Amino acid sequence: MQLSDIPFGTTDWSGIERTGHAGASGSAYWRTQHFGGLRVRMVEYTPGYLADHWCVKGHILLCLEGELHTELEDGRTFTLTPGMSYQVADNAEPHRSSTATGAKLFIVD
């Protein structure tokens, strides 16, 4: 990843409009900023959230609150708790997320 043409700035995430995205169950609420070709999001999953698709987009994801379960299409599963992160490249390993209790994430993709 190369970061270019992004001037120094700060983001007050509470001032970014929240958009809702339904999962197979539950909902995801995104606050999104774009910096050139980079998308940066603060994402909140409601309790009971299950993604409605296998994602092939690359991400760097940091769990801030709650507990996130990520399943890879090959059957492996991973659990993130606050302070844990994962990273995956574009088109590398299809994955989907779920949470029983809810989770808050910081995602760069």
Sign of CA dihedral 32, 69, 45, 54: positive
Q: What mean pLDDT do residues 32-36 have?
A: 93
Amino acid type, 56: V
| pLDDT tens-digit series, residues 66-85 | 999 999 999 999 999 999 99
Q: What is the pLDDT of residue 56?
A: 95
Contact 32, 17 (CB under 8 A): no
For the structural domain made of 19-108, what CATH number should be given? 2.60.120.10
What's the gap between Cα 71 and its chain centre? 14
Domains of the chain, residue spans: 19-108
pLDDT of residue 60: 96
Q: What Å distances lie between residue 50 and 1, 45, 59, 67, CA to CA? A: 29, 9, 18, 13
Backbone angles phi and psi of 15, in degrees to 5? -95, 0
Does the pLDDT value for residue 46 go beyond 90? yes
| pTM, entire model | 0.92
